[in-house]
Amino acid sequence: MAVTSQELRPGADLGGTLTARQSWSRLPAWLRRVIILAVAVAVWELYVKAAHVSHLVFASPYAVARSFVSGWLDGQIAGATGVTLEALAIGMAIGIGSAIVFTVLATWTTVGQDALMMFTSMLNPLPSIAILPLAIIWFGLNEKALVFVVANAVVWPIAINVTTGFRTVNTTLLMVGKNLGLRGWRLVRDVLLPAALPYIISGVKVAWAFAWRTIIASELVFGTAGGSGGLGYFINKSQYFLNIPDVFAGLVTIAVIGIIVEVGFNMLERRTVIRWGMQATS
Amino acid sequence: MKNQQSDVSSRSQPDVKAKEDGPVTSSAPLLSVEHVKISYRLKNTLVQAVDDATFTVMPEEKVMLIGPSGCGKSTILKAVAGFIEPVSGRISFAGSTNITPGPDRAVVFQEFDQLFPWRTVLDNVVYPLRVTGRSKPEAMAQATTFIEMVGLGPARTRFPHQLSGGMKQRVAIARALALGPPMLLMDEPFGSLDAITRTRLQGDLNRLAERAKVALLFVTHSIDEALLLGHRVVVLQGAPSTVAAVVDVRDINGPDDPHYRSIRRSLEDLLGAPGEEEPDGGN
Ligand SMILES: Nc1ncnc2c1ncn2[C@@H]1O[C@H](COP(=O)(O)OP(=O)(O)OP(=O)(O)O)[C@@H](O)[C@H]1O
Ligand SMILES: [Mg+2]
The structural domains of chain B, ordered by start, are 1-104+184-283 (3.40.50.300), 115-180 (no CATH)
Residues of B with CB under 8 A from a CB of A: 78, 81-83, 101-103, 105-107, 109, 111, 113-114, 116-118, 127-128, 131-132, 159-162
**CA B281/CA B97 separation, integer angstroms:** 39
For residues B21 and B36, give the distance between their C-alpha atoms in angstroms, rounded to a whole number: 30
User: CA A192 to CA A203: how far, in whole Å?
Assistant: 16
The reported pLDDT for the residue numbered A224 is: 60
What is the per-residue DSSP string for chain A?
-PPPTTTT-TT--HHHH--HHHHHHHS-HHHHHHHHHHHHHHHHHHHHHHHT--TTT---HHHHHHHHHHHHHTTHHHHHHHHHHHHHHHHHHHHHHHHHHHHHHHHH-HHHHHHHHHHHHHHTTS-GGGGHHHHHHHH-SSHHHHHHHHHHHHHHHHHHHHHHHHHTS-HHHHHHHHHTT--HHHHIIIIIHHHHHHHHHHHHHHHHHHHHHHHHHHHHHHHHHH---SHHHHHHHHHHTT-HHHHHHHHHHHHHHHHHHHHHHHHHHHHTTTTTT--S--
Can you tell me the mean pLDDT for B81-104?
Answer: 92
Q: Please give all residues whose CB falls under 5 A of ion ligand 2, grouped by chain where several chains appear.
A: B 74, 110
Question: What φ, ψ does residue B120 adopt, rounded to 5°?
Answer: -70, 170
Q: Per-residue pLDDT tens for B149-183?
A: 888 999 999 999 999 888 898 999 999 999 989 99
CB contact under 8 A, A180 and B103: yes
Q: Is B89 helix (H, G, I), strand (E, B) or coil?
A: strand
Contacts of B34 (CB under 8 A, 6+ apart): B54, B89, B90, B91, B92
pLDDT (0 to 100) of residue A7 = 46
Residue of chain B minimizing CA distance to A176? B114
Q: What is the pLDDT of residues A219-252, one digit of tens each?
A: 888 766 666 688 888 998 888 888 889 999 999 9
Q: Ligand 1 atom 29: the closest Cα is on which residue?
A: B70
- pTM of this prediction? 0.81
**% chain B with pLDDT above 70:** 87
Whether the predicted pLDDT of B85 surpasses 70: yes
Cis peptide before B59 (omega within 30 of 0): no
pLDDT at residue number B262: 83
Phi-psi region of A94 (alpha: psi -120 to 50; beta: other; left: phi over 0): alpha
Measured between alpha carbons, how far is B122 from B163 in angstroms, rounded to an integer?
A: 13
Give the residue, B255 or A166, on which the prediction is more confident: A166
Going by C-alpha positions, the residue among B189, B209, B185 that lies closest to residue B103 is: B185
| Shortest alpha-carbon distance between residue B35 and chain A (Å) | 24
Q: What is the mean pLDDT of chain B?
A: 83
pLDDT in tens, A258-267: 999 999 999 9
| Residues B192-220: tens digit of each pLDDT | 888 888 888 888 888 887 787 889 999 99
Distance CA A116, CA A113 (A): 5
**Alpha carbon distance A244, A265 (integer Å):** 32
Distance of alpha carbon B220 from the chain centroid: 8
Output the pLDDT for position B3.
40
Q: How far is Cα of residue B134 from the mean position of the Cα atoms in its chain? A: 24
Chain A residues within 8 A of B127 when measuring between CB atoms: 190
Q: Does residue A149 contact residue A92 with C-beta atoms inside 8 Å?
A: no
**In B, which residues are within 8 Å of A173 by CB distance?**
113-114, 116
* C-beta separation of B98 from B269 below 8 A: no
Task: With a cut of 60, say whether residue A180 has pLDDT above it.
Answer: yes
Domains, in order of start, for chain A = 63-274 (1.10.3720.10)
Query: What's residue A119's pLDDT?
Result: 87
Percent of chain B scored above 90 by pLDDT?
44
Cβ contact, residue pair A197, B118, below 8 Å: yes
Q: What is the pLDDT of residue A112?
A: 86
Q: Does the CA dihedral A163-A170-B106-A194 come out positive or negative? A: negative
Q: Are strands B183-187 and B215-220 parallel, antiparallel or unpaired?
A: parallel
